[in-house]
Structure 1
Amino acid sequence: MKTLAVTLFVFFSFTLKAQLDIDTTLSKKELVYKVLMSESSDMLIRNIKYRGSDFSIASFVNESPEVLIDKGLILSTGDVFDAMGPNKKPNTGVRASGMRDQDLQSIATSIVIDATVLEFEILALRDSLSFEYVFASEEYPEYVNQGVNDVFGFFVKELNSRALSPHNIALLDDGRTTVSIDNVNHRVNEEYFLKSDFFEGKSLQFWEQNREMMMRARVFEFDGFTVPLEAKAYLKAGKWYQFKIAISDVGDRYFDSAVMIKAQSFKSKGNRIPQADEVVKSFIESELKDEKLDLAIRNGQLSFDLQIQFNSNESVILKQSFKVLSELVDLMQRFPSLKVLVIGHTDNVGSESDNLMLSEKRALAVKAFLSRNGINKERLSVAFKGESEPKASNDTDVGMRENRRVEFVLTY
């Protein structure tokens, strides 16, 4: 009786804490900037696009982090909420977008349908790209080698290159074998495969002997998974690439599959490219193209002034400066590795001590604006110079107005 009681306690403890939380409320930009990437991603992002049903993409948190992936991004051929366990059915699936995708069609064995596609352009500041992921499917094990497997891929192509088709980097460790149901299962490359089973209808003894499988069956609906894998690609220095995450049904519109990418694992690795400063400088100039920038590279840092307006002896940001500060917010979201030092300045009206305090208030006001608009405070710092570093002569009203400013120093 004691042994049974302990087994039941362990079983129900696992059951109670095993849960998958799905969130479809984030925008596609937020999914890329805040879920996929981190402040150490060392990567520039632009032109985010999505094709698919709104219910086929989401962020997720796995409250049993020892099971596969703790949190991240999920793309499904059906409804992402159907990924939530426990595993009860062998054929969970719904009709989704009905969309096709040419790149997926090129690796499929039949007609591609219900495609879910997230794509964007990347420029890595290091010489390679990598991220962690898991592929899961309801087609395991029934449709192994049946010729109608769902497909997915991570497609990379240099922009404006002569290459006719992108390179799929969803590969096993040999760098040649694509990750698919036929290539990773209980018969082939089984070291990369994790099976599941129905959560109900099994004895306590079975689950006691298969605890890891029990947790997978409790958290997820899918009948089979890959182990966590790493996708990677070597990139040319200073080049923009088109990157695409895509998954779709093949043949039928049921038996859902999904790909899950680990949160904040999407980053560039390896050696820093030699022209990184010039690449970042060019990117900032293109993002803030409507502003008059005095952008300079100084000691490995980028510094520039923006036309942030202040009235004399005041630290309140004027409305005409909101536009450029909003553009700076957008820039920092596109470049999560970017950190900003805000430096406050004044003209020479008033005492040096008063101007030092005023310049601090101006820097703090700008920092507060950026923070209120979603920039992590850890990416922001302030300094204050008072009247000690004028940009123009304080002998004219125009010069004094130019000196009532903030300066930005960027590091990454």
Structure 2
Amino acid sequence: MNDLISPTMSRSALLLLAAFTGTALSAQLVLDNTLTPEQLVQDVLLGGGVTATNVTFNGLPGTQTNVQIAGFDGSQTTLGLDNGMLLSTGGVDSAPGPNDQAGATSILGTFPGDPDLELASGQQTFDAAVLEFDFIPDGDSLSFRFVFGSEEYMEFVGLGVNDVFGFFLSGPGISGPYSNNAANIALIPGTSTPVSIDALNANSFGQFYVDNGDGSEA
């Protein structure tokens, strides 16, 4: 699993992931795919003190479970997150691994992409996993940590298969180039560059990259 952690955030949110085709973690990763997107946002992502509304996943009501989203327990892995929420353009059932195949995915080219991710990556996207919700924080800031991984590392870096992740915020005081004037805060630390396999890999910002080609590092 390829690791990037960013500690920034405030206001209202849209999480997008495109072409994340079933990157696998070690067998110790425990998934809970019984939770709805609404439950995951409120209880796992935001926690106490913040209430989420209007939760949707890929345009569907947040009260429906989906094969592309789940909760996880990563306390027995080297992932760097003890627990959290997993978004995947493949089915999340591929995530526990081990990933010892050249390619592993249960969804490929089934769902549409997303225009904001295409703006961020500069390429057409497919199979976007789009989680959207509104929230009002109690304070003036919130922090989130994330890990980005891709089945396409390193074979497809620079070859037109640019897996990408975006965390888009919109609301008062935010002005950006994305839908609803949103800004993308899923950036490589110290830059204005969105997180994708072309931008972050063994040869570019390698200090944030973990080579997990045989599926054993997490």
Q: Which TM-score applies when normalising by structure 2?
A: 0.75
Overall identity of the aligned pairs, in %: 36
Relative to structure 1, is the Cα distance of residues 177 and 106 closer, same or farther in structure 2, using a 3 angstrom cutoff? closer
Equivalent residue letter for 2:52? I
Verify: 1:195 aligned to 2:211, yes or no. yes
Instruction: State the 1:184 CA deviation.
Output: 1.3
Cα offset for 1:192?
0.4
Structure number having the greater strand percentage: 1
Structure of larger gyration radius: 1
1:72 is matched with: 84
Secondary structure of the 1:131 match is coil
Structure 1 residues 124, 63: CA separation in 2 closer, same or farther (over 3 Å shift)? closer
Q: Which runs of 5+ in 1 are unaligned?
A: 1-16, 200-213, 217-412
Give me the whole-angstrom Cα distance separating, in 1, the residues matched to 2:175 and 2:188.
27
Aligned partner of 1:60 among 49, 58, 72: 72
Q: How much does 1:97 deviate?
A: 4.7
Q: Which moved more, 1:160-169 or 1:179-188?
A: 160-169
Give the secondary-structure state (helix, strand or coil) at the position aligned to 2:142. Answer: strand
- CA-CA distance at 1:146 after TM superposition: 1.6
Match runs of 1:132-143 below 5 Å: 132-143=145-156
The number of residues matched between the two structures is 184
Q: 1:38 aligns with which of 24, 47, 59?
A: 47
Instruction: Quote how far apart the aligned CAs of 1:61 are.
Output: 1.4
Question: What letter is aligned with 1:148?
Answer: V
Deviation, structure 1 residue 127: 1.8
1:120 lines up with 2:133 in the alignment: yes
Partner of 2:116: helix, strand, or coil?
Answer: helix
Residue identity matched to 1:77 = T
Counterpart in the other structure of 1:173: 189
**Does the Cα contact within 8 Å between 2:153 and 2:213 map onto a contact in 1?**
no
Structure 1: distance between partners of 2:154 and 2:104: 14
Q: In structure 1, how many angstroms separate the alpha carbons of the residues matched to 2:50 and 2:77?
A: 27
- AA paired with 2:128? A
Higher RCO (CA 8 Å, separation ≥ 6 residues):
2
1:58 is paired with a residue whose SS is strand
* Shift, 1:143, TM fit: 1.2
The one-letter code matched in structure 2 to 1:173 is P
Q: Which residue of the partner structure matches residue 35 of structure 2?
A: 26
Alpha carbons 1:18, 1:63 under 8 Å: kept: no
Q: Which runs of 5+ in 2 are unaligned?
A: 1-25, 60-64
User: Structure 2: how far apart are the matches of 1:179 and 1:164?
Assistant: 16
**What whole-Å deviation, never above 9, does each CA across 1:51-70 have from its counterpart, x for those lacking one?**
17921111111251443322
Per-residue CA shift, 1:15-57, capped at 9, x if unaligned? xx95122221112211111111222xx4342111111792111
Asked if 2 retains the 8 angstrom alpha-carbon contact of 1:172 and 1:179, the reply is yes
Indicate how the Cα distance of structure 1 residues 66 and 196 shifts in structure 2: closer, same or farther if over 3 A, else same. closer
CA displacement at 1:215 relative to structure 2? 4.2
| Alignment TM-score, normalising by the size of structure 1 | 0.41
Choose the corresponding residue for 1:155, options 168, 188, 203. 168
Give the structure with the larger helix fraction: 1
Q: How big is each residue's C-alpha offset from its partner over 1:179-237, in whole Å with a ceiling of 9 and x where there is no partner?
A: 211121111111000001326xxxxxxxxxxxxxx442xxxxxxxxxxxxxxxxxxxxx
